[in-house]
Chains A and B, each alone.
Chain A
Amino acid sequence: MIKYTIKRLLQSLLTILIVVSIVFLLMRMLPTDYYFTPEELDRLSEQEKNDRLAAAGLLDDPITQLLRFYQQLLRFDLGTSRRIQTGVPVAEVIASKVAISLKFGSISLVISLFLGVVIGILQARYKDGIVDHVGTAYTVFVNAVPHLISYSLLLIFGSRVLGLPSMYSIRDPIRSAILPIACLALGSTAGYMLWTRRYMVDELNKDYIKLAKIKGLSTREIMFRHVLKNAFVPLAQYLPSSFLLTITGSLLAERFFSVPGMGPLLADSISRYDTNIVQALVMIYAGLGIIGVFLGDVLMTIIDPRISLTEKGDAR
């Protein structure tokens, strides 16, 4: 197991390195004009521009720049932001945004996990009943219709009927956070409902459940002691990555409600050409994705001792 873990972590590290290098080089392919704001482009002469670029080491050969970037990385130096918050260390910029996204994300994750699993259980328990049909309609709607629309509908409902603020603001952090969190929870609840129901229905059709019924176990005991436990295993695989990915925030929801979180940062930093932030973000995104999948696999082996990661070689 330890050998397997080390091998897999090394592999992940290599993947992250390649990903970061590719993005680094891609960003260097754009013309250097992007480093300046439009007014600076007008104001500065060619000479001044070149001097500034040379001072920042941006005129060197891309490979030299890449090596320099890795050297700095070994000293845990991510550089400073150039345009988003000029002069502030990248780590600081990101940390302040992560705090917000993490707060929103984890609250909505807890809500949606609870609601999703409970409703999913009810749907499986009373299959083809009213709860099941309404729940299925809900999952179909949320999964099929673009989130932009469901967010808009929720916003209309929230602000017109309940009188909640339509934008997030620091002055009223609790009431204005309700709608963004509700929107985030809306989508993931549907996901948990869908999979809880699907796995539980699969499990209910198995022979050992028939045996349990024949033995005279109560429905409650069958549902919770046998069905739910087994149905939860595949769900557990996705828990760590969904928790880790709350850090990256939600691009659409945060932009929609002007939450100053991580979500819009990546798109902003690319379009405003803040290369240092882009590199750090890509590293975080790729790293979280890979670690999340790995932790999911580990969690699954802990919950279900029948599963082994090492026996079949690479389990994925």
Chain B
Amino acid sequence: MSKSKDTVEKTEVLDETANMSDEELFSFVEYHHDDAERTGYSNYSYWKSVFKNFLKKKTAVVMLCVFLCLFVFSFVATAIGNYDYDKLIPDNEHSFESPNSEYWFGTDNLGRDYWCQVWYASQTSIKLAAIVALGECVLGIIIGCIWGYTRKIDALFTELYNIMTNVPNIIYMTLIALMIGQSFLIMAISMTAFGWMPMARQVRNLVMMYRDREYNLASRCLGTKQSRILVKNILPFLVSVIILRMALSIPRTISLESTLSYLGLGLDVNTPSLGILLRNSRAFFLDFPYILIFPAAIVSIITVTFYLVGNAFADACDPKNHV
């Protein structure tokens, strides 16, 4: 229907113009340099579209706000609590008190205030996860770029990768805990040292994909420096993947940290992380569920936030989804 209508209108327009001469139909426009430049400019900015697309994902935005509030509140909470973490003393008379006005989250098996422990632990876990995610990202990108861009070392790196990923991580972690010790710094370094591999592998695959595209070939022929090709021509394509990996590495790090701490291979007992709290809760939470629920709720909010935000941001970063 609509199609035939279009054709009818078109023929009418054609009829009107059929008798006109070229001079009537066309007129010359004066040349303006600025006008010529303006053609085709659509006011498109990559990062602006990224944020516009990101803001459309309501769940992710809400979760991000909740997380930020939580993070800020963890500092407020340690300040306003009735007890200071450094001054906690075991007090058997007060063990397993349910949450009340004195102990806002109750007390643990040794009668220590749980409120300050939980918030202190959240800060530790967030700090650790952020450091590890950043470290993994930097190491992974650098090594992945070199690995993907230099043909000669590809076989060597692939073999190294196979060897490293085929040894279960738990071996490295146990050996490190035995040989070097357990502390926040050691934990951060060792988790970064064995966590960059998936990132490097993915960056390598993508770099290999984009390395020999025609525009890079042309760039190379024109004598562009390799480092410039890598940074200007290839890396921008990896932004969404890198951000996704980085965001997902936060829940993974928290998860790994809690597992390791649970097994006694993670942080030492005096640096409370959420993993240590969960480990301590294992023996008691069937009788005193609040011991599990407070740290569990906070961990869940943090990890789910980064999972959702990472996915949403990666979608938003993909230029294919832009207008």
Residues on A lying within 8 angstroms of B by beta carbon are: 15-16, 18-19, 22-23, 26-27, 29-30, 34, 140-141, 143-149, 152-153, 155-156, 159-160, 166, 248, 251-252, 255-256, 264, 266-267, 270-271, 278, 282, 285-286, 289-290
Contacts and interface: CB of A to CB of B under 8 A. Distances in A.
B159 interface: yes
Contacts of A256: 262, 282
A160 B167 contact: no
B142 interface: no
Contacts, number: 119
Contacts of A30: 175, 178-179
Interface in B273-323: 275, 278, 281-282, 285-286, 289, 292, 296, 299-300, 303-304, 306-308
Contacts of B286: 155-156, 159-160, 166
A190 to B, nearest CB: 12
Interface stretch (B13-21, B34-42, B250-258): B250-258
A266 B263 CA distance: 12
A26 B166 contact: no
A30 to B, nearest CB: 6
B285 to A, nearest CB: 6
18 contacts: A18-B163, A22-B167, A140-B307, A141-B304, A144-B306, A144-B308, A145-B251, A146-B254, A146-B255, A149-B258, A156-B286, A248-B168, A252-B263, A266-B174, A270-B171, A270-B174, A270-B178, A285-B168
Nearest to A269: B174
Query: Does more than half of chain A's interface fall in helix, strand or loop, or is it mixed?
Result: helix
Q: How large is the interface on B (under 10, 10 to 19, 20 to 34, 35 or more residues)?
A: 35 or more
Contacts of B170: 251, 266-267, 270
Interface of B: 159, 162-163, 165-168, 170-171, 174-175, 178-179, 251, 254-255, 258-259, 262-263, 265, 275, 278, 281-282, 285-286, 289, 292, 296, 299-300, 303-304, 306-308
B307 A26 contact: no
B304 A290 contact: no
B212 to A, nearest CB: 15
Contacts of A271: 174, 178
A22 B275 CA distance: 30
B174 A146 contact: no
A166 B282 CA distance: 11
Contacts of A22: 163, 167
A267 B265 contact: yes
